[in-house]
């Protein structure tokens, strides 16, 4: 799900602050900031309609829920940092359940809910890990839909387009 505009503004502000950190990385563009339930990779054109139907069925089973974005977490770990992401606090547990149901019904590669900030090429691990500890975002929003998002890779960065949006509830 693409993040709401006001949440994107907050996250973009954090990304701009991180640009001065001792690291080289590829930041996620403001318009592409999203909450990922499952990464499907290459899908066949004839499968898009089936996926849309399954998303609609899943969406009916879940009411909207609130999540909170909090601290920055290194992925996969502090000792081997490939991605920096915002951690998601999902007190209702609905987000994680929805993520698991998407994988069960549709497939794909899924990690615990997070919002990717950047893909790391190089970093001064000690200093960046200290900076991570001092940064906190405290913004929450309502997850009220699940989306099928197409990503087209381009030289200047990926171009995302929403192929389908299924309202929860």
- Catalytic residue numbers read 34, 114
Q: In what order do the strands lie in the sheet with 136-143?
A: 23-27, 114-123, 81-89, 65-76, 136-143
User: If DSSP codes are grouped into helix, strand and coil, which group holds residue 130?
Assistant: helix
CB atoms within 10 A of CB 52: 15
CB atoms within 10 A of CB 87: 17
User: If DSSP codes are grouped into helix, strand and coil, which group holds residue 61?
Assistant: coil
- Tell me how far apart the alpha carbons of residues 152 and 108 are, in angstroms, rounded to a whole number: 17
């Amino acid at each position: 799900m693409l993040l709401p505009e006001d949440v994107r503004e907050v996250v973009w502000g954090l990304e701009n602050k991180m640009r001065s950190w001792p690291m080289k990385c590829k930041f996620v563009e403001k318009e592409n900031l999203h909450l990922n339930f499952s990464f499907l990779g290459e899908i066949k054109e004839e499968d898009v309609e089936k996926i849309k139907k399954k998303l609609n069925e899943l969406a009916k089973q879940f009411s909207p829920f609130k999540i909170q974005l909090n601290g920055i977490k290194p992925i996969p770990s502090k000792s081997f940092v490939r991605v920096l992401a915002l951690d998601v606090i999902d007190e209702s547990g609905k987000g994680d359940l929805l993520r698991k149901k998407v994988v069960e019904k549709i497939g794909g590669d899924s990690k615990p809910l997070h919002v990717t900030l950047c893909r790391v090429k190089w970093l001064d691990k000690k200093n960046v890990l200290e900076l991570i500890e001092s940064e906190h975002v405290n913004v929450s929003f309502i997850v009220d839909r699940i989306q099928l998002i197409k990503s087209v890779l381009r030289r200047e960065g990926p171009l995302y387009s929403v192929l389908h949006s299924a309202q929860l509830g």
